[in-house]
Chain A
Amino acid sequence: MTEHLPAGRIAECVGGAPTPEAQRHLGECAQCRAGVARLESALGQFREAVRGWSDGQSEAALERARAAARRPGRAWFRWPVLAAAALALIAAPVYKTLRDRQRAAQALADAQLLEQVDREVSESVPSPMEPLAQLVSWDSASQDSSQDSSASSSQNGEVR
């Protein structure tokens, strides 16, 4: 009897790729055969346990997914969601154009308002007092003109 199979060789046998030497050895060695059988048995029981566990959870999980799909906003089973998404894609450029136009109109209105404010701020007196201010300015204008004429007369050496 040769030495027992090294651990890696047993894994290869269980994994479905035994070397010819390993196969020959398994035919002769009950201990290594038992080692392979133990691992295969454990893996088989593990598979059955996981499958049974999954079968017990699967239906409930599918129902949860379907229930979630029926709730608004989570409709992974429903085409209307895709239709709505497509509609949104089409509507987005239209909405953007309308919004751009609104923004342009608003910007124009803002500019006009600012211009008006600037104009009013630059005025020397408030608009209700404008007639009075005009009277004052006419008066001062006439005084100014008389002062101007006397000044020019004295410059010219004229005597009243």
Chain B
Amino acid sequence: MQPVASADLPADAVESPARELDDFDALVRKYWPRVFRFALASLRDPDAAGSVAQDCLMKAHRQAAGYRGDASVNTWLMQIAVNLVRDHARSRRMQFWKRTRESAVNWDDVVRRIPQAGANPETGAAARERVGAVWKAAAGLPERQRTVFLLRFVEEMDLLEIAAATGLREGTVKAHLFRALEAVRRRVEGAK
């Protein structure tokens, strides 16, 4: 299943969003990869990400009547996902599992997805180091900065879409993004 990016969403997703929300199977087929990816990047736990993606799509489907069409279905889903990820990360149970499972995330599994990692040993090692630096920096970011950072650089949403998904003003989104980028830059330069 290919990830869904806002740029490559089919035209009918924009033309008939309410109908799209009514068809639950179609909603899952089209949006599961993206919602799951954002949840996975945020929580770093496949089980928790699956649970969030599931809840997100169910909620969107149940509340289809409340969808006003102010934003695209994609942005609306990401808004629900952002709230669910936040609630999930704040729950006490999650805090417990976070501590015990932090080390369970298979870093090798992430690293072997780096495009240049297998090209030649030298560039591969450098790429792994750079991605590792971003990975660690992102983990250390405050919640809002991390959310904005992931929506911008993993989901490739623009600032206005991020503002709609997070409920923040565009200027606040920029401020969070630049702080996050500065933290990431420092880590990447340190890993150079």
Contact = CB atoms under 8 A, between A and B. Distances in A.
Given A54-B3, A55-B3, A11 B181 contact: yes
A46 B50 contact: no
Interface residues of B, number: 50
Given A46-B135, A50-B110, A53-B109, A39 B50 contact: no
B131 A61 contact: no
A46 B134 contact: yes
B113 A76 contact: no
Nearest to B158: A16
Contacts of A84: none
B58 interface: yes
A8 B156 CA distance: 21
4 tightest CB-CB pairs across the interface, nearest first?
A52-B113, A61-B50, A11-B181, A54-B37
A137 B114 CA distance: 109
Q: From B138, B179, B189, name the one whose CB has the most chain A CB atoms within 10 angstroms.
A: B189
Given A42-B134, A77-B24, 20 more contacts: A8-B178, A17-B174, A38-B188, A43-B184, A45-B114, A45-B116, A45-B131, A46-B134, A47-B153, A48-B114, A49-B110, A50-B110, A52-B114, A54-B41, A55-B3, A56-B113, A59-B1, A62-B28, A62-B50, A64-B50
A7 B182 CA distance: 7
A47 B151 CA distance: 11
A15 interface: yes
Given A39-B184, A45-B115, A62 B32 contact: yes
Contacts of B41: 50, 54
B40 A57 contact: yes
Contact of B113 (A14, A48, A62): A48
Nearest to B173: A15
Contacts of B58: 76
Nearest to B54: A65
Interface size class of A (residues with CB under 8 A): 35 or more
Q: From B47, B131, B156, name the one whose CB has the most chain A CB atoms within 10 angstroms.
A: B131
Interface of A: 7-8, 10-12, 14-17, 35, 38-39, 41-43, 45-62, 64-65, 76-77
Contact of B40 (A11, A46, A53): A53
Contacts of B50: 61-62, 64-65
Nearest to A59: B1
B185 A15 contact: no
B1 A53 contact: no
Given A46-B135, A54-B37, A38 B192 contact: yes
A38 B191 CA distance: 11
Contacts of B152: 15
Nearest to A12: B178
A100 B54 CA distance: 40
21 contacts: A11-B178, A11-B179, A11-B185, A15-B178, A38-B130, A39-B184, A42-B133, A42-B134, A45-B130, A46-B154, A47-B154, A48-B113, A54-B36, A54-B41, A55-B3, A55-B33, A58-B36, A60-B46, A62-B50, A64-B47, A77-B24
